[in-house]
Chain A
Amino acid sequence: MEIKGTNYHVTYDSTTATVALQGTLRLRGINEYDPIVELLDDVTAQEPETITLNLQNLQFLNSSGINILFKFVIQIREQGSSKLVVRGSTKIPWQKKSLQNLQRLMAGVQLEWGE
């Protein structure tokens, strides 16, 4: 599964249960994020053992975008059967604080940092 926009690219690799968000995500409002939300809902529904969220090439994410990621984490927490690994980049300043915040929503979120 994949979704392509002008400056962004969202993919889901079912073999590794990895969702990768890349580029610049600055869609206007929650509604424009609907296709991505649907993709994330599908991933949660499949209940893989571990879901990996790779954000290492996501340069920019607006507040509507972080909102859907927060909800995705809550959904996995409520689903209760999948673990969540989130990969971030130390080179992208906004990720440090916002990704750490994911652990406030779901204590078991495992954060992995790369460049």
Chain B
Amino acid sequence: MTSKNKQPSPEELQAEIAVLRKEGATLQQKVATLQQKVATIQQEKTDLELLMQMTAEHSDQVADELYTTVEITQRESQERFELVINTVPVPIIISRVAEDVIVYANAAADELTGETGESLLGRSISEFYSKAGEREQILVEVEAQGNVDSWELQGKQNGDTYFWATVFIRPLTFNTEPCLLEAYYDLTEHKQADLERAHLQQEIIEAQQRAIQELSTPVIPIMDRIIVMPLVGNIDSMRARDVTRSLLAGISQHQAKVVILDITGVPIVDSGVANHLNKTIQAARLKGAHTIMTGISEAVAETIVDLGIDWSEITTLSDLQTGLVFALRSLGVKLTR
């Protein structure tokens, strides 16, 4: 018989049972530990899922709040922008840089350009510039300077009339697009006032010139058919021509037969003036009037002699009074004391 077939003794069986019981207890302990670990992992899993869910909820909530805040801020910003832009009586136009398209214009801009409603929107701003290439010049200036102040331009109003304005230009981002803001200061009235002022000034100058001319070549009808032209100051070629013109006009107007040309107030007579006066006297003769020259000063007389001017054919008398007496007599008027 081998030990394989030997039946265990009761002691051996009890010892084996004790070992098995001990192993069973250890296993139970391990199971309990594992169960606890599973419970912990289960809790952690639950916590993690909750954490993810609640973090996502928080993110959504915060994102919603931010989005709402952004929307409100944008709306308020837009309302504030429109309030300011539409309250100021300054024409303002915003146009996209890339396409030269008007994206915003206030009521004052409509008035300036003669447009109504929202008809400016979507149109090219260059349509309203009188000068071709103005837009390109402005863009170059903005590129170089950033802000552009006091850019003077002429614009079209109602398509057929014009306005003048000085423009203040600022680059800005409008609805996420690069744009230009143009604020116009209407100069049309100033320009018109300037033109009227210049016109008036020209009229005044012309009137003054006429007055000066009349004063420098006065024709005085002192009696029937006798006129006197007293000359004062220097006589140049231009004034000499005016003298001739006025004298001939005076002869016609007053049907004068005798003209007294008094040069008492003329300090210098040169050869040019003497020749002009000669021509004047000849022209008066052709018109049927006799000319008497009076008031030749000593200096003038010396000059005439020195220059060899021949006035021998001209009636020259010392003063106006003598000349007047001579004139009356030549017309057959008898003077009695």
List residues of A whose CB falls within 8 A of some B CB.
60-63, 66-67, 70-71, 74, 93-94, 97-98, 101, 104-105
Contact = CB atoms under 8 A, between A and B. Distances in A.
Nearest to A69: B58
A63 B55 contact: yes
B62 A63 contact: yes
Chain A interface, >50% SS class: helix
Given A63-B59, A70-B54, A101-B50, 10 more contacts: A63-B55, A70-B50, A70-B51, A74-B47, A94-B58, A97-B57, A98-B61, A101-B54, A101-B57, A105-B50
B136 to A, nearest CB: 46
Contacts of B56: 63
B61 A67 contact: no
B62 A94 contact: yes
Interface string B35-53: 0000000000001001100
Contacts of A93: 61, 65
Nearest to B68: A93
Given A104-B50, A105-B47, A105-B50, A70 B62 contact: no
4 residue pairs, one from A and one from B, having the closest CB atoms: A66-B58, A63-B59, A101-B54, A98-B58
Contacts of B54: 66, 70, 98, 101, 104-105
Contact of A67 (B51, B62, B65): B51
A62 B57 CA distance: 11
Interface string B109-140: 00000000000000000000000000000000
B37 to A, nearest CB: 15
A93 B62 CA distance: 9
B61 A94 contact: yes
Most-contacted residue by chain B among A67, A94, A98 (CB, 10 A): A94
B59 A71 contact: no
Contacts of A67: 51, 55
Nearest to A26: B62
B323 to A, nearest CB: 106
A105 B56 CA distance: 15
A63 B58 CA distance: 7
Contacts of A74: 47, 51
Contacts of A101: 50, 54, 57-58
Contacts of B47: 74, 105
Contacts of A104: 50, 54
29 contacts: A60-B62, A61-B58, A63-B55, A63-B58, A63-B59, A63-B62, A66-B55, A67-B51, A70-B50, A70-B51, A74-B47, A74-B51, A93-B65, A94-B58, A94-B62, A94-B65, A97-B57, A97-B61, A98-B54, A98-B58, A98-B61, A101-B50, A101-B54, A101-B58, A104-B50, A104-B54, A105-B47, A105-B50, A105-B54
